């Protein structure tokens, strides 16, 4: 157990590009350390739900996202310190390449996050069909930003002992960085991929076995003891005053204590930042989880929050549950506050068409959806609130992200029913997003509660109003 006022040791696991194997390495290290008895605090850099879900399963704790585009750097730092306290070690999985960001300064990159948190980097090198060049690439990273600390490397997708030996020898000779593991090419069926990342852990029928496989990979091919020593050596201390300040509990809105917010969460709808749910709870809201896949009726709630996911893979089951869909539509007509993102937006629509067949959704918003083979919206978003709506003030600027394969086939809306104008991103239609009717709001833009602090109080406030008007 870490002493009060001390920073929890951690490691940022990065690659030279997306798809280099850092996710499986991160899962294996987190789960293996957990099996050794360490309390592991997992984090994912960037706006990612799928990897975060796997990391949460591996570590046995919620995985928090750290994103310096969605949130101010100091907010990200505070989130890391707050959510790693009382743990033994933190594992932070980076995204894309080590220095990749939205600008030439790399301000939102994994390397900048490592410097912000003052943590060492474990670099995963995809060694496919390469030997000496890997030393040159590693040396380039070291020279490109001398302020980062690369404490070790993992050689990934090595073709055998001879291949491994050549890469090791060159890295040791030219870079003086320890090689802490060498992982062979793994079978695809252990970690199936879909779209641009791993299949969600909820949808993977053998997720438990997959985590066990990741642990075996780490145990067999990574020197976990040396890695832990590298993480804990020269551990920097965080200012005790900063930790004390961060640990102070927030004041709750006493009037919201009896408010119940239903969150629709199952294998179809599972994309939620833990910070968003925490923000509602910190305001005193009671949280209940609902599932249109497994439940028929909606219990007494004062608001509903629907996150994203893959409703298209569950369209027949969602369409079959007419009682739930009809109940949700009646509650919307009765003024129940409903906030939905991406996959949740699809469920608010009229239908989704898949392979020539239409599956009915809840019918709250007049939109018909289809599914494309390529992403229809992908990346960070920046929106301006331009129309009066239930949850955001006109003039607010919000940062978020969108990632979708769904497309708009038909829509019946007025400009005044779209809350957002997209300064960055695609949105629902013609650079507009945030379709709302009464107290129901659907958007392709995912927001992070720490970066959009007005969101949770607005949802709770609407829930309080609904309760007062219906009791």
Catalytic residues: 342
* Residues in a beta bridge with 263: 289, 305
Contact predicate 279/456, CB 8 Å: yes
User: Can you tell me the distance from the alpha carbon of 435 to that of 420, in angstroms, rounded to the nearest whole number?
Assistant: 8
Vertex 203, ends 200 and 209: CA angle to 5°?
A: 90
Q: With CA atoms as reference, report the closest residue to 341 among 184, 455, 430.
A: 455
Total Cβ atoms within 10 A of residue 14: 30
3-class SS of residue 365: coil
Which H or E element spans position 410?
strand 406-411
User: Can you tell me the distance from the alpha carbon of 81 to that of 6, in angstroms, rounded to the nearest whole number?
Assistant: 10
Q: Using CB atoms within 10 Å of the CB of residue 357, give its burial: 0 to 12 exposed, 13 to 18 middle, 19+ buried.
A: exposed
Cα 224 to chain centroid distance, Å, stands at 26
Please report the DSSP string for 447-469 in residue order: E-TTT-TTHHHHHHHHHHHHHHH
Q: With CA atoms as reference, report the closest residue to 309 among 360, 263, 364.
A: 263
Q: Where are the alpha helices (DSSP H) in 248-297?
A: 274-282
User: Can you tell me the distance from the alpha carbon of 163 to that of 115, in angstroms, rounded to the nearest whole number?
Assistant: 33
Q: With CA atoms as reference, report the closest residue to 309 among 353, 273, 265, 364.
A: 265
User: Can you tell me the distance from the alpha carbon of 371 to that of 405, in angstroms, rounded to the nearest whole number?
Assistant: 6
């Amino acid at each position: 157990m870490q002493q009060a006022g001390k920073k929890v040791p951690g490691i940022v696991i990065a690659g030279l590009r997306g798809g280099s194997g850092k996710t499986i390495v991160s899962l294996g290290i987190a789960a293996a350390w957990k099996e050794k008895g360490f309390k592991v605090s997992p984090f994912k850099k960037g706006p990612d739900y799928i990897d975060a879900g796997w990391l949460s399963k591996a570590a046995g704790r919620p995985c928090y996202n750290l994103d310096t585009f969605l949130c101010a750097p100091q907010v990200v730092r505070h989130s890391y310190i707050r959510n790693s306290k009382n743990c033994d070690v933190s594992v932070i999985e980076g995204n894309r390449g080590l220095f990749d960001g939205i600008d030439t300064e790399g301000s939102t990159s994994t390397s900048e996050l490592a410097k912000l948190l003052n943590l060492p980097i474990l670099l995963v090198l995809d060694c496919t069909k390469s030997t000496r060049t890997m030393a040159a690439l590693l040396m380039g990273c070291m020279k490109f930003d001398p302020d980062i600390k690369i404490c070790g490397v993992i050689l990934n997708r090595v073709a055998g002992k001879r291949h491994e030996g050549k890469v090791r020898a060159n890295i040791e000779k030219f870079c003086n960085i320890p090689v802490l593991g060498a992982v062979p090419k793994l079978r695809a069926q252990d970690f199936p991929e879909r779209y641009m990342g791993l299949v969600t852990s909820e949808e993977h029928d053998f997720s438990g076995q997959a985590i066990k496989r990741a642990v075996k990979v780490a145990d067999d091919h990574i020197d976990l003891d040396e890695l832990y020593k590298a993480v804990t050596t020269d551990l920097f201390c965080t200012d005790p005053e900063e930790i004390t300040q961060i640990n102070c509990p927030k004041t709750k809105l006493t009037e919201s204590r009896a408010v119940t917010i239903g969150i629709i969460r199952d294998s179809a709808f599972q994309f939620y930042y833990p910070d968003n749910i925490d923000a509602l709870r910190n305001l005193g809201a009671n949280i209940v989880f609902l599932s249109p896949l497994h439940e028929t009726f909606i219990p007494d709630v004062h608001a509903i929050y629907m996150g994203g996911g893959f409703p298209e893979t569950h369209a027949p089951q969602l369409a079959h549950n007419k009682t739930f869909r009809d109940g949700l539509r009646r509650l919307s007509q009765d003024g129940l506050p409903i906030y939905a993102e991406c996959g949740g937006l699809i469920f608010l629509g009229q239908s989704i068409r898949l392979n020539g067949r239409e599956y009915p959704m809840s019918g709250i918003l007049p939109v018909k959806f289809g599914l494309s083979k390529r992403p229809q919206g992908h990346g960070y978003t920046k929106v301006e609130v331009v129309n009066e709506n239930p949850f955001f003030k006109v003039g607010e600027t919000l940062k978020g992200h969108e990632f979708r394969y769904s497309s708009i086939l038909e829509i019946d809306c007025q400009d005044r029913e779209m809350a957002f104008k997209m300064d960055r991103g695609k949105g629902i239609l013609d650079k507009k997003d945030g379709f709302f009717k009464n107290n129901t709001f659907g958007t392709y833009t995912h927001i992070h509660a720490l970066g959009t602090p007005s969101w949770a109080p607005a949802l709770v406030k609407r829930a309080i109003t609904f309760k007062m008007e219906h009791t």
